[in-house]
Structure 1
């Protein structure tokens, strides 16, 4: 699957849901906006989350009373209809990708197809990391893990128990040592850390918004997608997702 095929598939699924539930007959408008760091994740013990560094924005879409979120580095405030979203060009426009992902999460939450589309806050980020370690231990033993997308609580917790490598695209983090792990570049470290070394990949769903999500589908080893961005895509593509503390 290419990135272009992925975005086409997501748009087709949104079109199907709109037809199935007659959502195009509803006067409800879709609204989306970027959240402040405090709105998105609250007051966290760790202060080096990407959203606090200003690299990413949490985009929140609302359809009816349902909320859908997505992390993106190309946010857009938006107010319009589902037809307006379906007219966007996520294949070529990064701003459109965030809108499509957040919208699909909100709409599928509205229809009851998914849940856990709103990010956890405050101390729940640390509790999520504990739950993730327990989940991996129970289902995979003690694998070599490659974490895609630097996440401070996950990095700190997983590095205490598992062999860990971390990839990220943000030059602010690449080369830094976090919890004893050197952050590697997401492109140059991909083959070594993902395809050759890892026994399990833990991948942020925000890769949907930067176009690299497809690099972690069908790669011949287990992949778990974490976070709220990938809620709808994981359901559509039948991919495992772990996001225990979101709401």
Structure 2
């Protein structure tokens, strides 16, 4: 998957004549307030240091990526492409930079995380979109703990028709909005077996689990949707279904 993204990124950069550009890419970690603003809901992982949002700036075009290994970087596009992509920190820098460059080139959109009341409104839109496409009598699998989405689904189709997987040990085995969180390390395939539709966080591209999810989607014939800004550029390249209604 990363080889495909890297190849596409090289082709885009060469076509635009920016691969060897002297313009620097600057990636930095955003504070929770910068990233998500003031939210009434306080259980977003971003607000508790579980994840960080890094931001790349290329000629004024911004791209972001969620990661549990935030790193600062200042360099050129070619240096990013020389990464081995063998840890979450390197992958997040690559994805943030890819999103920024693709935004600059007009190849993708909505690369900046929504703030304040918008995450709540976006979650409502996501639930509405899934229901309109697949009906209310479905079992929805949610990959990654996103409290607003889980809450709104639980109020719409009931907790009994929701399954959640997450990688955070503090969430696994706990009940969240009426749903017990499964271990994403061991239950990734099970959620595809029992659910009709899968909704996954776009940060799976940064932790290198997105490829497994798309393979399982194809294996079991279950539609999968990705949400968030992290997956903006990759979704455009890989033709993934992306739901992100309030990002800028």
TM range (shorter): over 0.9
In 1, distance between residues paired with 2:74 and 2:231? Answer: 22
Match of 1:212 in 2: 209
Q: Does 1:112 align with 2:106?
A: yes
Structure 1 stretch 165-174 or stretch 211-220: which is displaced more?
211-220
Match of 1:227 in 2: 228
- What is the total number of aligned residue pairs between the two structures? 240
For residues 185-227 of structure 1, the C-alpha deviation after alignment (integer angstroms, 9 at most, x for no partner) is 1022222222x10100000110111111112114221000000
1:73 is matched with which residue: 68, 75, 85?
68
In 2, distance between residues paired with 1:191 and 1:70? Answer: 25
Match of 2:128 in 1: 134
2:58 is matched with which residue: 42, 58, 63?
63
In 2, distance between residues paired with 1:93 and 1:56? Answer: 15
Aligned structure 1 segments of 4 or more residues deviating by more than 4 angstroms? none
Q: How far off its partner does 1:44 sit?
A: 1.0
Q: Name the SS of the counterpart of 2:47 in structure 1.
A: coil
Q: Does 1:237 align with 2:217?
A: no
In 2, distance between residues paired with 1:42 and 1:239? Answer: 28
For residues 135-166 of structure 1, the C-alpha deviation after alignment (integer angstroms, 9 at most, x for no partner) is 01111112210001100100100111221111
Kept in 1, the 8 Å contact 2:10–2:19? The answer is no
| Structure 2: 5+ residue stretches without partners | none
The CA RMSD measured in Å over matched residues stands at 1.1
Match of 2:183 in 1: 185
| Structure 1: 5+ residue stretches without partners | 1-5
Q: How far off its partner does 1:25 sit?
A: 4.9
Q: Name the SS of the counterpart of 2:234 in structure 1.
A: helix
Kept in 1, the 8 Å contact 2:20–2:77? The answer is no
